[in-house]
C-alpha cells in the first residue's frame, strides 16, 4: 500500500469515536496501513486503553510483534497488574512504560509515529485492541 493510501485509510480512524472494523478485508487493510506507516517512522509511542493490565499487555504485544519488534527485549514486568481500566503508554525509543488508571470509556490503541516527514508523523487511532490478534 502506498503511504498516501495508508494515511487516507488511517485518517478515517483518527480523532473520531471508536470505529469498528466490520470485515476481515477491512481488518487486513487497516493492519497493512498502520504497518506501512510504522515502517517509515523513526519510532513510536503506543497508548493502550483497556479493561485491565492483562488485556492491555496482550494488545501491546500483538502490535509490537506486528511492527517487527522483538518481545524478549521488552521487560513487561515494569507494569503493575491492575484489574481495573488502565492506560499504558509504551515508547519504542526508550522501550519503557508509563501506566495509570483510566476512567474513560474508550478501549483501543493510539499509535503516535515520530518522523521528519509530515505524511508519516502523526497519531493514528483509535485502533481496535485486537487488530493483530488471530481469531
97-130 pLDDT tens trace: 999 999 998 899 999 999 999 999 999 988 999 9
Residue 71 DSSP SS3: helix
- Whether the full predicted model's pTM is greater than 0.85, yes or no, is yes
Tens-place pLDDT, residues 73-89: 899 999 999 999 999 99
Cβ(5)–Cβ(33) under 8 Å? yes
Q: What is the CATH number of the domain that holds 56?
A: 3.30.360.10
110/13: higher pLDDT:
110
Domain count across the chain? 1
Q: Which domain holds residue 58?
A: 3-127
How much is the pLDDT for 18? 64
Q: DSSP assignment, residue 19? A: P
How much is the pLDDT for 135? 65
Residue 76 placed within a domain = yes
Residue 133 placed within a domain = no
39/22: higher pLDDT:
39
How much is the pLDDT for 10? 86
Tens-place pLDDT, residues 59-73: 999 999 999 999 998
Rounded to whole angstroms, how far apart are CA atoms 8 and 24? 19
Residue 135 placed within a domain = no
Cβ(44)–Cβ(113) under 8 Å? yes
Name which of 48, 98, 88, 92 is nearest 73 in CA terms. 92
How much is the pLDDT for 55? 97
Amino acid at each position: 500500500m502506498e503511504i498516501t493510501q495508508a494515511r487516507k485509510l488511517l485518517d478515517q480512524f483518527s480523532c473520531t469515536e471508536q470505529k469498528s472494523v466490520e470485515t476481515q478485508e477491512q481488518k487486513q487493510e487497516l493492519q497493512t496501513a498502520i504497518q506501512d506507516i510504522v515502517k517509515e517512522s523513526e519510532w513510536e509511542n503506543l497508548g493502550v486503553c483497556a479493561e485491565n493490565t492483562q488485556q492491555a499487555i496482550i494488545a501491546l504485544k500483538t502490535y509490537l510483534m506486528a511492527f517487527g519488534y522483538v518481545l524478549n527485549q521488552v521487560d513487561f514486568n515494569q507494569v503493575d497488574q491492575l484489574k481495573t481500566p488502565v492506560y499504558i503508554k509504551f515508547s519504542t525509543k526508550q522501550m519503557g512504560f508509563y501506566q495509570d488508571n483510566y476512567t474513560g470509556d474508550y478501549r483501543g490503541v493510539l499509535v503516535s509515529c515520530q518522523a521528519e516527514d509530515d505524511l508519516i508523523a502523526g497519531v493514528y487511532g483509535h485502533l481496535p485492541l485486537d487488530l493483530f490478534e488471530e481469531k
